[in-house]
Structure 1
């Protein structure tokens, strides 16, 4: 049930079953890890307004799993995800490496180590772990999203297009394929790929929490407007969509939702991107951090913003870089270089 993305009530039912199992055997370590993962998945891919709270509950379950069995590598990965919500990416990466040391054969462990490195702008280091995750679980679309982003960050556009297309062929939303088309300079294909994602709204592409369903006409109009703003290359369209995102940030029940911050990253709406991540990182929006490091205009406007290093210091990125190495696009601390 915890793998049935887009099925209403599936994650609640998964948590119910896992809790029933733990009532029978409260020392079932693997079940505590599975329960932790169900809470993280609820926070990441359902329209929840309690994403940070779900992450904290996942961490509590993961800690219980580790207390029972220190070999629960996946539980360490989940602790790492929760550390991001606490603005502690250095500790998050430490937990991700610890998870891999304990269970390198787990696809989720590989995936979450790779994603953590991608969030920190370390695509070159992340790529082997992402590729390993794909090899171990080739039917999981999320791994191809990470693979696409890693290739784009490294300038491997043709490989990114193939990875994005593979994700689309699996029936997943074509967000990352659209992004690959954008980087390749094919604005028409990028707009089409983005517009095509409208059919997934309310299923594998979650509706923002607290927002009512849209009828087909409103949905199509919104996606067409967004496609032009994000992918057309027209500055007037970009500005118009950035203004809409500002309005959504001011009015939506979750002002930090991925439906706001992802397009803000893609359009280089730096002030909004830094505002959102400075105030709240949760398991749904942190996935967008890996796209900050795609070095084309307008995406790279955020990392080139004069306030970016102060922002990076504020949310803990600089501490992580000092401990584990600086990102591919910032090979040394600019304050000391």
Structure 2
């Protein structure tokens, strides 16, 4: 099947990896240390992601889209007034509370499928000499029974800086991932609990208690790291209700290691308030539209300089009567 790949319950017994460790290793590579990460070349499959994480259970199909789709993202539509909203708030925390209130007031939505469309951007070090930025559209579909289908668009690759372009030429101008129509990029998915989204609490304290109840006891992660990764999963990869999503914001904002930032931008140039957490070198960042409470992006940034290592910029998210594309050989 040239056009798509099917993955079903890839290594379900593998414990989830601490996301911060994976990204710390990537940061060391990007900062020029001797540690190497293989470049992303053709036929890198999603099965490889099982080495560093666990794919969510369900039917996952990854066909190739024809290219980037314009989409009608509710986050993009509401983000137009973000600059004004940010400028008029009394404090970042106040803006976050109001955004969470607006999100919680949204109706749960109707339709047969929950659809999340995002632009994935990832930087990787190739040949230990230049950085490549890969970009593609990813659409996740979840039906009312919890079955999932993921549609991945064609990858486009670029060299972010003039120095990268010079290093690429010195290396013989090797083909990049985006030069191959059948290129696939694996992703790390975090699947912490075997709970349906409707079972997730809609109050911050109760949500935190439930998530901590399921935290691994093997020392692989601390409470805050676990809660952040679980919240990322809830917000990006589940059909959680607006009230549960708002509770996730409030839960993270109350953690000692979380900062509420008054202004941050995503890879699509949209501005919003942000929740940040992480080490001195690497920060996990959640960009939120203060006007609606919608999630704009989940991204990992370098604390110094703000370079984005990995990002999901959300275009559309919610229940719909649209149906995913049919899968054919």
- TM-score where L is the length of structure 1: 0.28
- Give the structure with the larger strand fraction: 2
- Give the structure with the larger helix fraction: 1
- TM-score where L is the length of structure 2: 0.28
